[in-house]
Amino acid sequence: MYYDDLPIWSFLGKVEKEGKNDPSEYKYYLFKHLHFTIFYNKDRVIEITAQSDLNADVDLTEEKEVDVEFMYSVKWKKTEIPFEKRMEKYSQSSSLPHHLEIHWFSIKSGVIVLLLNGFFATILMRVLKNDFVKYAHDEESAEDQEETGWKYIHGDVFRYPKYKSLLAAAVGSGTQLCTLAIFIFMLALVGVFYPYNRGALLTALVVIYALTAGIAGYTAASFFCQLEGTNWVRNLLLTGALFCGPLFLTFCFLNTVANAYSATAALPFGTIAVIFLI
């Protein structure tokens, strides 16, 4: 819940487990009264808290429809905290409710990936070591032997790829996205993104992506010229459309579906046109 872009949290209900071992015997209650305390400075809201009334509850244990009349009360308090510093409380992770949880699935997946990479590296090193020993054992007769194993394709590293323009465009787009991620992490470290400001991240992504387009163009064109490419203008156009094209088509499809269902997440045509021009 948000009020004036300030997050609000409170308990919605409770579960009564005392003296009951069977989960089917638990009782579930819903709080129907919330008390809001709003701190203000002149005409600005600085802080807001919500507290549930534990005495005003409704029993929801039985599976039947229940008519609940929700109530709320508000208390206004004056504070001297300026409006510019009202988000300092929410910028600290300790101010928001969170639960310490160990993600065992992610840990196990990481360990499995490390083990597989270790096994693969061990096998590869053994194969290459045997090849090195085999070819270094008799250097004089090595020229007469037929090339096998990894030496059969050792000359392919000097061969140009078939789709040079697509490879250069992928390298340019990847460099741009990597630069974009670095800038986003730097802005997050200095505290630009607050938990309440839900649109700041999306705005920063669009603006920084537009500003780093030159990095993608320079990287793609430079790499394309190193591959002895000729049509560098086509390569620049491909670099610009390689990531934005599929993303824009997907966004248009989802936005059309949102408009069809009259969802609030749908963006108007004017906003889409501005983003496209950027």
pLDDT average, residue stretch 175-194: 87
Structural contact between residues 131 and 150, judged by C-beta atoms closer than 8 angstroms: yes
Structural contact between residues 212 and 176, judged by C-beta atoms closer than 8 angstroms: yes
Res. 101: pLDDT tops 60: no
pLDDT of residue 138: 55
Structural contact between residues 59 and 29, judged by C-beta atoms closer than 8 angstroms: yes
Split at pLDDT 50, 70, 90, the class of 95 is: very low
Split at pLDDT 50, 70, 90, the class of 78 is: very high
Other beta carbons within 10 angstroms of residue 271's beta carbon come to: 11
Nearest 10 degrees: CA dihedral of 214, 220, 226, 230? -100
Structural contact between residues 77 and 38, judged by C-beta atoms closer than 8 angstroms: yes
204 CB burial (10 A radius; 0-12, 13-18, 19+)? middle
**Nearest-angstrom CA–CA distance, 12 and 8:** 12
Res. 178: pLDDT tops 90: yes
pLDDT of residue 20: 77
**Nearest-angstrom CA–CA distance, 237 and 229:** 14
pLDDT of residue 242: 92
pLDDT digits (tens, 9 = 90+) for 186-210: 988 887 776 556 677 888 898 999 9
- Whole-structure pTM value: 0.55
Q: Can you spell out the DSSP letters for 122-181?
A: HHHHHHHHHHHHHHHH-SSTTTTSPP-GGGGGGGGGGSPPS-HHHHHHHHHHHHHHHHHH
pLDDT of residue 195: 55
The partner residues of 41 in beta bridges, in order of sequence, read 44
pLDDT of residue 93: 47
pLDDT average, residue stretch 256-269: 81
Lowest mean per-residue pLDDT among 28-42, 145-159, 209-223:
145-159
pLDDT of residue 266: 79
122 or 264, greater pLDDT: 122
pLDDT of residue 146: 58
* Sign, CA torsion 79/80/83/86: negative
% residues pLDDT > 70 (the chain): 84
**Nearest-angstrom CA–CA distance, 3 and 74:** 13
